[in-house]
Structure 1
């Protein structure tokens, strides 16, 4: 019993935890991508611009991933081409990305410079930044 009490980890109080910001991303891709591929593309873009040392302090984590191609009635004009075949010109996604406060501009810059991933075109833009996941979804996704 005594050994279990000593081994128990204590939770950090909120004042000692690092502050996070949540970036809402708008992703347009030439091919359909998964959540894992998006995470890989985000890390690739940050590592390419800032290197491993600085990217490690960004504390990146993909919190939410939304595939907007399934909601054709809401976004039918944005994913359909204006030609007669109604071919899909690009795939549209949104995501919520967590990063540490103070590094928001670094992450935004590295994502804006990312244009190709795995020889496919991809465009990632930041719609907005928020302090909580709930407010970021409420303001920028719904």
Structure 2
């Protein structure tokens, strides 16, 4: 039997998930509970049309594959999972991507940066540079500036922790994000 060309294959989406529970959850129990909730919510025919597959699951993070037109049904199924083997459980969808690699890089942040980047000659200090991330602000040194785009190296330990978890070295901002528009060059 021939393999279908990519244009004729079913399109898939990949949901990055984070599982919060009272104890450790084995992969098999998670899969069984997701499939049980899908069958309960949508029936056997509906759950088979969704094409749900748990591709990876480590350290309470995982990637679930589903069909592109069944994303919202898959989210609904994941929301109905409330307990696994008697332990209260919550599955949070971190994001949706078109590729496994995209879901891993954007939402799961599994790799850390091990080697530090060498110092650049263009490191400049500005008087004040603040950027709002969630509820906080960031200040630091400008490492590189290209037209309206700025690479900012934060001095805040909490911000550095965020950068290390996200596999990046600098915050990318624009001149429009800066509170004080005067930049020392």
TM-score w.r.t. length of structure 2: 0.57
Question: Unaligned 5+ residue runs, structure 1?
Answer: 1-8, 68-92
2:20 corresponding residue in structure 1? 28
Picking from 82, 105, 120, the partner of 2:72 is: 105
Render the CA deviation track for 1:9-55: whole Å, top value 9, x for unaligned: 21110011000000011101112111111111111221121111100
Task: Supply the RMSD in Å over aligned alpha carbons.
Answer: 1.0
Q: How far apart are 1:118 and its partner, in Å?
A: 2.6
How far apart in 1 are the matches of 2:6 and 2:34? 28
- Contact 2:97–2:103 (CA under 8 A) maintained in structure 1: yes
Question: Unaligned 5+ residue runs, structure 2?
Answer: 110-185
Q: Which of 1 and 2 has higher RCO (CA within 8 Å, sep 6+)? A: 1
How far apart in 2 are the matches of 1:119 and 1:64? 23
Q: Secondary structure at the match of 2:46?
A: helix
Q: Which deviates further from its counterpart, 128-137 or 58-67?
A: 58-67
TM-score w.r.t. length of structure 1: 0.73
Q: Secondary structure at the match of 1:46?
A: helix
1:17 corresponding residue in structure 2? 9
1:88 corresponding residue in structure 2? none
1:137 matched to 2:104: yes
How far apart in 2 are the matches of 1:45 and 1:124? 12
- Contact 2:56–2:62 (CA under 8 A) maintained in structure 1: yes
1:38 matched to 2:30: yes
How far apart in 2 are the matches of 1:117 and 1:45? 11
More helix by share: 1
Q: Larger radius of gyration, structure 1 or 2?
A: 2
2:81 corresponding residue in structure 1? 114
